[in-house]
Chain A
Amino acid sequence: MDLSVRIGKIQMKNPVMTASGTFGYGGEYSEFVDLDRLGAIVVKGLSLQAREGNPSPRIWETPCGMINSIGLQNVGLDAFLKEKLPWLRRFQTPVIANILGSFPEEYSNLARRLDGEVEGIEVNVSCPNVRKGGILFSSTPESLKEIVGRVRDSVKQSTLIIKLSPATSDIGQDALLCEKEGADAVSMINTIPALAIDTETRKPRLSNITGGLSGPAVKPIALKMVWDSYRRLRIPIIGMGGITCGTDAIEFMLAGATAVAVGTANFINPSATMDIISGIEAYASEKGIRKITELTGGMQCS
């Protein structure tokens, strides 16, 4: 049975990777996860300078999900390259760096400096554009196009992945735009903008007021977005949103994903990624599937 998949130039031994922001820089989970067994490791979103993020409280639990407003706290590019990446290099697993910025130039600088240092660069476009009054880069086709164009020009060796926001009228259109601008792959979905209020105090549950919803609650929405995009794309999709077990991952592949990422589930079960890989294996052997890539887009509508 062949579980391997390919995302751009990245050859993965299986389709399971970690979702940015839920797996730290890898080391945090090394005691529970065989990092060599993962398809790829995606690290916490990096900015040029270290960021302290939002004040507390930053998380709130909802039915089958959670809302977070971490505010992209991270060690910054230099510390990542000096301290985190060398450690990750002890493993055979491809490393994908997730990047974020406040200005278009921050994205291109990050992309240029990471190019060739990591196998993949995943661009988080759900970030406020400081120069445009904080409106998200992903929220208009023009600004999305500008970011993708800039990182495309900066990335020559690594695989370029654009991570799309579900807060859009047509994610398939956004994905197509990324493909036209030369992205090697898209990943979806980032968290869904969300709010929770304490009715006793009438205050928001999060210091940042709003946050992003993740976990099993978002899975049906994420699946539909993967399906909508798959039908229009040639480049591969990395699907995520609420995956907790092998069959969840299979669902994403049937909807059109080539690979999948596991996020919130890591918090519930620290070895979730391992269990999901085993679950995919078990499904494939039970169904007599020889190549896992056969599943991609394999939903039978009639």
Chain B
Amino acid sequence: MSRHFSAEITDIRQLSREHFILTLHRPPSAPEPGPGQFFLIRLPRCGEDPLLRRPFSIFDWDEGKLRFFIRVAGKGTAILAGSGPGERIDLIGPLGRGYPEPSDGKRPVMVSGGMGIASLFPMIREQGKGGLLLYGARTSDELHLLDEIGATGIETETITDDGSSGRKGTVLDLLHDAVQSGKMEGAVVYGCGPWGMLHSLLGFLKENRMEGYLSLEERMACGLGACMGCAKEIGGRMLRVCLEGPVFSVSEF
């Protein structure tokens, strides 16, 4: 088993102009990831520019494959989107501390903004039926993967910033409603999305003294806790998103 391995691209499925699913053949030597963990991917065909690896959450896996859900955000992700089946890419992972399982009897509630679904999907898959997913995006076009989510049997509520599908608003609105309707009794919250959303979610969870886990992003170099490049101030200390995170408990803030 080695956390540094190379894997062949078996498929790149375009979901929209900006979004795609990257599927890799998982070699037998690649260790099993857990929900909320991530991999550092070395961009193919670029030598020394772009130089750094890119971090991506593990979206889905089984014995034979690893899948990542990726949005084109700049140079590196555009290079990945333009690669094709048969190419090999170099990975380090699984890395970081992922989402802990809900303790006995607690109901897992996943709160996802935008690309947050990439990191939360393994929780949705594992916790499926008993859980609740609050899923928000900018527009209905960006509410990706509803089929795969539906297949897990999870109760799902969606919302968009522009009201192009269902309600208009943010996941925080959905959360307030869930509280009103008693759905948050004995809940443990797992959140991933843009920092603005996570910040509001953090405030909500603190105020209501609820157990919760948030997945953060920061620029990374080593991914191994060595360079201190990804440290963020959390609870007055500089913690490494790649090692102490990317998932942090609300109680740490």
Contacts and interface: CB of A to CB of B under 8 A. Distances in A.
A204 interface: no
B51 A58 contact: no
Given A24-B226, A270-B224, A58 B231 contact: yes
A116 interface: no
A294 interface: no
B4 interface: yes
B85 interface: no
Size category of the B interface is 20 to 34
Contact of B51 (A28, A53, A56, A215): A215
Nearest to B221: A267
Given A29-B224, A44-B226, 9 more contacts: A22-B226, A44-B228, A52-B238, A59-B219, A61-B219, A68-B221, A215-B48, A216-B48, A268-B53
A141 interface: no
Interface in B49-63: 49-53
Contacts of B219: 56-61
A117 B64 CA distance: 49
Given A63-B49, A216-B51, A29 B226 contact: yes
A29 B52 CA distance: 17
B3 interface: yes
Interface of A: 21-24, 28-29, 31-32, 44, 52-53, 55-61, 63-66, 68, 70, 73, 215-216, 244, 264, 266-271
| Most B-side CB within 10 Å, residue of A53, A216, A267 | A267
Contacts of A68: 221, 227, 229
B52 A267 contact: yes
15 contacts: A31-B2, A53-B228, A56-B219, A56-B230, A56-B238, A64-B48, A66-B52, A66-B221, A70-B229, A215-B48, A264-B51, A267-B223, A268-B51, A268-B52, A268-B53
B144 interface: no
A73 B228 contact: yes
Contacts of A65: 51
B232 A70 contact: no
Contacts of A29: 224, 226
Is chain A's binding surface mostly helix, strand, loop or mixed?
Answer: loop
Interface of B: 2-4, 42, 48-53, 92, 218-233, 237-238
Given A32-B4, A270-B92, A52 B237 contact: yes
A204 to B, nearest CB: 14
Given A21-B227, A73-B231, A271-B4, A61 B52 contact: yes
B244 to A, nearest CB: 13
Contact of A244 (B48, B228, B231, B233): B48
A266 B229 contact: no
Contacts of A244: 48
A240 to B, nearest CB: 15
A176 B228 CA distance: 33
Contact of A28 (B49, B224, B229, B231): B224
Contacts of A267: 52-53, 221-223, 227
